[in-house]
Each structure stands twice: as structure tokens, then as C-alpha cells.
Amino acid sequence: MAHKARKRFGQHFLTDTNVLSRISDEIDRRSEGCGVIEIGPGLGALTEFLLTNTQTAAAIELDRDLVAHLREKYCRDQINIIAADVLAVDFQQLKQELGSENLLVCGNLPYNISTPLLFHLLDHIDAIKHMVFMVQKEVADRLTASTGSKQWGRLSVMSQRILDCQQLFDVPPDAFNPPPKVISTVVHLTPKTKTQPLEDYSCLQEVVKQAFSQRRKTIRNSLKALFQNEDFESCGVDATDRPENIGVAEFVRMSNHLARSRQAHS
């Protein structure tokens, strides 16, 4: 199929068969007991490898031309091609529809939606056992960042609270057509078996988003609309720290403190 990559969909088609094989192997070794969902199959290059090694359940594609191509290429018994915006997909419902105990979600994520998509998947993490994605190197660095680094940010905190994040290997631009201007990285993300208790997820979202919207300010200044000095002391947080120096546990303590405070005043 002759298909020109569309910039508005962030399309860069992976063509290097060695890289495709390595990604497929990473997915296959984690796929037992999972329904495999591919995001953004494009022309089906990775799909082809997955169907050889793994019982792929479905693929989600937004581009209607590519949906038509994939449905013509594969029968429904091989794979269910879902024409949808993945940011609107309910993965819990999809798991039920597929009759799968768990999902393994994978794919070469469209660069223009990789971060919002990761946040969307965090909202559906109860349905997911593994995620194997190719993302921009900078996104992979944020997923695996350490407290105190320049990469530590909102995505780092929200992901690492509930996920173990691992970088597997880098992929150069010449592995794609058209080649992107950045290096890509394959990552493996899996839900943690134990997390710090959280009283209100929306409070955590609010605190983290507000903190990193003004990351050069101290926590005292960036969160002054939510906390007083004594609140930081109660949470064991140094109010003079900047957000990149605040760890997951501290953000959780602050969000729990905020949740209890609001509940007491409701």
C-alpha cells in the first residue's frame, strides 16, 4: 500500500525488521495470559511480527485509510481492527469485550499524543498487566527519571507512583520512514504490586500538575493556593524545595493531606 505519512497523526512507520523482531520478542515473552492490544499499527509492520509470535487480540487505529488497508489485509479471526481515537478508548470495557483476564498494550506510539496517551492509560491501569511501547527518548527519560534530575516531572511522578518503568533499548531515526528528528526508546511499564495508599486521585493530579506548572518556583510558592506553611511541615516536606526535588511519597502525603482537609471542611 502506498501511504504518505501524515504529520497530524504523528506517523513515522518503523521499517527496520531487526528492531521489529526485537520489539515483538519483548512483547511475546510477557504476553502469557494477556489479550494483546496494539496501538497505532499503521501499515501493520509490527502487527505482522506479533501475529507470528503472539495471539494478538486487537489493534486500534485512527487513520481511516490505514483501517481500511488493515481490514483488507487481515480477517477478523486474525485480529480485530478497531477504528477509534485511542484517547477515547475505555480499556476496562475493551478487556471485558475481548474476554481477557489482563491486557498487554503495545505499539509505536504516535509522537504527537504519547504523553497524553500515557496519562490516559494510567486512568485504566486496573485492566493492564504490561505495556511495551516505543516513545521518544525524552519521554522514556521522564518515565524513568530520578528525583532531583531535570527530567523529573509530572509524568515521572504520576507514572512511578503505580508503575515500574524500564528502558529496554534505543532505536535510531533511520529505522523509520520517514525518519523522525529524535531518537526513540522501547520501554516496559508494569503496575506495581504495592503502592502507597492514596485517598483521592484527583487531589494528587491537582497537586502534581500545579507544582510542575511553575517548576522553577519553590513548592511554597507554586502551591500557595493549596497549602499553608504548617501544611508542608505536617507532610514532612521542605517548603523551600523545588518540585524536581520532591519525591513520589512526598507528593502522595501532600495530596492525602489536601484530601483530608477538604473532607473536614465539606
Residue 213: its pLDDT value, please?
A: 94
Residue 110: its pLDDT value, please?
A: 86
pLDDT in tens, 6-46: 444 455 789 999 999 999 999 999 999 999 999 999 999 99
pLDDT-derived band at 112 (thresholds 50, 70, 90) equals confident
Residue 75: its pLDDT value, please?
A: 82
Residue 77: its pLDDT value, please?
A: 80
In one-letter notation, the amino acid at residue 265 is H
**pTM of the shown model:** 0.92
Q: Alpha helices of the chain — where are they, by DSSP H?
A: 17-28, 45-53, 64-73, 91-98, 114-122, 137-143, 154-162, 201-213, 219-222, 229-235, 248-264
CA distance 187 to 210: 27
Q: Cell 507470528 belongs to which residue?
A: 52
Could you tell me the three cell numbers for 45? 509492520
For residue 4, is pLDDT > 70? no
CA distance 241 to 111: 32
Residue 6: its pLDDT value, please?
A: 46
pLDDT in tens, 213-256: 988 999 999 999 999 999 999 999 999 999 999 999 999 999 99
For residue 208, is pLDDT > 50? yes
Angle between helices 201-213 and 248-264 (to 10 degrees): 120
Share of the chain above pLDDT 90, in %: 83
Phi first, then psi: what are they for 236, rounded to 5°?
Answer: 70, 35
Residue 29: its pLDDT value, please?
A: 93
Q: Quick check: 124 and 103 in contact, CB under 8 A?
A: no
Q: Pick the closest to residue 38 from 80, 98, 101 (CA basis).
A: 80
Cβ count near 167 (within 10 Å): 15
CA distance 169 to 39: 19
CA distance 177 to 175: 7
pLDDT-derived band at 201 (thresholds 50, 70, 90) equals very high
For residue 263, is pLDDT > 50? yes
Q: Pick the closest to residue 187 from 123, 106, 102 (CA basis).
A: 106
Residue 36 in 3-state DSSP?
strand
More confident residue, 8 or 160: 160
Return all residues near 107 (Cβ < 8 A) that are at least 6 apart: 38, 39, 40, 41, 46, 133, 134
